[in-house]
Amino acid sequence: MPDRPKRMMVFSGTSNPELAEDVARNLGVELGNIKIRQFANGEIYVRFLESVRGAHVFLVQSFTHPVNDTLMELLIMVDAAKRASAETITAVIPHFGYARQDKKSAAREPITAKLVADLLTTAGVDRVITMDLHQGQIQGFFDQPVNHLTALPILADYFESLKLENCCVVSPDVGRAKACLKFAEMLGCSLAIMHKGRPEHNVAEITHVIGEVEGRVCIIADDMIDTAGSVTEGAKALTKAGATGVYVTATHGIFSPPAYERIESSPVVEVVVTNTVPVPVERRHGKIHVLSVAPLIAAAVDNVFNDESVSELFDPDFQL
- In a shared domain, residues 132 and 167: no
- In a shared domain, residues 254 and 164: yes
Q: What is the pLDDT of residue 121?
A: 97
Q: Is residue 2 part of a domain?
A: no
- In a shared domain, residues 178 and 73: no
- In a shared domain, residues 159 and 287: yes
- In a shared domain, residues 217 and 135: no
Q: What is the pLDDT of residue 10?
A: 98
Instruction: For 123-132, write each residue's pLDDT tens digit.
Output: 999 999 999 9
Q: What is the pLDDT of residue 5?
A: 86
Question: Mean pLDDT lowest for which of 133-142, 204-213, 266-275?
Answer: 204-213
| Range of the structural domain that residue 54 is part of | 8-150+295-312
- In a shared domain, residues 158 and 282: yes
Task: Residue 224: give its domain's CATH number.
Answer: 3.40.50.2020
- In a shared domain, residues 157 and 116: no
pTM above 0.75, yes or no: yes
- In a shared domain, residues 189 and 101: no
DSSP string over the chain = -PPPPP-EEEEE-SS-HHHHHHHHHHHT-PPPPEEEEE-TTS-EEEEESS--TT-EEEEE----SSHHHHHHHHHHHHHHHHHTT-SEEEEEESS-TTTT--S-SSTT---HHHHHHHHHHHHT-SEEEEES-SSGGGGGG-SS-EEEE--HHHHHHHHHHHT-SSEEEEESSGGGHHHHHHHHHHHT-EEEEEEEEEEETTEEEEEEEES--TTSEEEEEEEEESSSHHHHHHHHHHHHTT-SEEEEEEEEE---TTHHHHHHTSSEEEEEEEBTS---GGGSSTTEEEE--HHHHHHHHHHHHTT--SGGGG-TT---
- In a shared domain, residues 178 and 80: no
- In a shared domain, residues 171 and 84: no
Q: Is residue 320 part of a domain?
A: no
Whole-number percent of the chain with pLDDT over 90: 84
Please check the confidence at residue 318 and state whether its pLDDT lies above 50: no
Q: What is the pLDDT of residue 196?
A: 67
103 is catalytic: no
Q: What is the pLDDT of residue 4?
A: 77
Q: What is the pLDDT of residue 317?
A: 44
For the chain, the domain total comes to 2
Instruction: For 33-85, write each residue's pLDDT tens digit.
Output: 999 999 999 999 999 999 999 999 999 999 999 999 999 999 999 999 999 99
Q: Is residue 89 part of a domain?
A: yes
Q: Is residue 158 part of a domain?
A: yes
The active-site residue, picked from 82, 103, 178, 196, is 196
